[in-house]
């Protein structure tokens, strides 16, 4: 596996691949690889001749009171895991390379970023779309693979790609879960054993909601489902609910009744320290 820390060295290798007619998949990450990341890399191997994983903790998507300074990292372990998974190039730039001192340009998707995580994380998605746009310009992949755990992010990036005519196909990969149902996340490492047991209430509530929808003979009222979900989560003493809602998968607008491609989406905080998100299709 090649490790590139500069744009020039990354592009030099990519140019050779393109001249050889090889297809390229990109897996953007912030590192601290777990099975969820590795599943995206394996999907890239299925789709393309070469896989590039980016490893960059993007400061512009963190708010002033979020965990940028302590975001978990294991560079050597990440390199080993990526290599063993079949990644051909790991692009790991420094912050001052991605955002030079005179940097003034951002990319923003408007309506899709207003609700859900965007409501409580102002500026987050602008940071995401800006860095992803930069990665698309640097790597110029044929495919880019994103996990569905950050489902709003996936929808926002698809919108950006369509609006700005990026010649890349976006692939969403289903959530990879721990044995206890918790959606895999680099932030899970923050959880104590007791907090982890509490955090599972979010995925359990997703399953309860989905089971109720699948068992119903007719379209269900969303208000009744949300009331049940909020009751379940409020009963977990270590957790405070940020949001739990049911939305249309494409527009992310709230649903009145569950029909078509709807998805339950939620975010909670465990002991106010750790913010976790999850979602589940209701079909």
d(CA 155, CA 44): 19
173 included as an active-site residue: no
Q: CB count, 10 Å around CB of 138?
A: 19
Phi, psi values for residue 77, rounded to 5°: -65, -40
The pLDDT value given to residue 78: 98
The pLDDT value given to residue 25: 98
The pLDDT value given to residue 118: 96
∠ CA 110-112-114, nearest 5°, is: 75
Provide the whole-model pTM. Answer: 0.96
Q: CB count, 10 Å around CB of 217?
A: 5
Pairing of strands 239-248, 2-4: unpaired
Domain ranges of the chain: 2-173, 186-278
Q: What is the CA radius of gyration of the chain?
A: 19
The pLDDT value given to residue 218: 81
Lookup: tokens for 2: 């090649």
The pLDDT value given to residue 15: 97
Among the listed residues 2, 52, 54, the one whose alpha carbon sits nearest the alpha carbon of residue 22: 52
The pLDDT value given to residue 220: 82
d(CA 201, CA 134): 37
Pairing of strands 50-55, 169-173: unpaired
Lookup: tokens for 36: 């969820």
The pLDDT value given to residue 65: 86
∠ CA 278-75-130, nearest 5°, is: 55
* CATH code reported for the domain at 186-278: 3.30.1300.10
Instruction: Specify whether the backbone of 91 is left (phi greater than 0), alpha (psi in -120 to 50) or beta.
Output: beta
Among the listed residues 208, 58, 212, the one whose alpha carbon sits nearest the alpha carbon of residue 127: 58
Angle between helices 222-234 and 201-215 (to 10 degrees): 150
Decide if 2-173 and 186-278 have a common fold.
no
**Contact at 8 Å (CB) between 145 and 171?**
yes
The pLDDT value given to residue 114: 96
Which CATH class, in words, describes the domain spanning 2-173?
alpha beta
**Contact at 8 Å (CB) between 99 and 131?**
no
pLDDT digits (tens, 9 = 90+) for 116-159: 999 999 999 999 999 999 999 999 999 999 999 999 999 999 99
**Contact at 8 Å (CB) between 89 and 27?**
no
Q: Which residues of the chain have pLDDT under 70?
A: none
**Residue 9 C-alpha from the chain's centroid:** 27
User: Looking at 37, 124, 173, 219, which residue is catalytic?
Assistant: 37
């Amino acid at each position: 596996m090649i490790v590139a820390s500069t744009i020039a060295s990354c592009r030099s290798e990519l140019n050779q691949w393109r001249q050889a007619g090889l297809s390229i998949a990109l897996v953007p990450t912030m590192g601290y690889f777990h099975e969820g990341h590795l599943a995206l890399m394996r999907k890239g191997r299925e789709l393309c001749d070469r896989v590039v994983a980016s490893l960059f903790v993007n400061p512009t998507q963190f708010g002033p009171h979020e965990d940028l300074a302590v975001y978990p990292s294991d560079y050597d372990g990440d390199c080993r895991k990526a290599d063993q998974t079949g990644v051909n190039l790991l692009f790991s730039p420094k912050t001052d390379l991605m955002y030079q001192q005179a940097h003034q340009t951002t990319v923003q998707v408007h309506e899709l970023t207003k609700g859900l995580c965007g409501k409580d994380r102002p500026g987050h998605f602008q940071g995401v779309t800006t860095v992803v746009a930069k990665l698309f310009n640097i790597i110029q992949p044929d495919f880019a693979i994103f996990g569905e755990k950050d489902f709003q992010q996936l929808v926002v990036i698809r919108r950006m790609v369509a609006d700005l005519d990026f010649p890349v196909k976006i692939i969403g990969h289903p959530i990879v879960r721990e044995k206890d149902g918790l959606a895999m996340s680099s932030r899970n490492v923050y959880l104590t054993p007791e907090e982890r047991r509490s955090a599972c209430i979010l995925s359990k509530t997703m399953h309860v909601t989905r089971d109720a929808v699948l068992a119903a003979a007719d379209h269900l009222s969303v208000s009744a489902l949300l009331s049940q979900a909020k009751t379940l989560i409020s009963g977990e003493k270590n957790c405070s609910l940020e949001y739990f809602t049911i939305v249309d998968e494409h527009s992310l607008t709230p649903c009145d009744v569950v029909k078509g491609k709807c998805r339950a989406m939620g975010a909670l905080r465990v002991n106010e320290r750790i913010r976790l998100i999850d979602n589940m299709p209701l079909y």
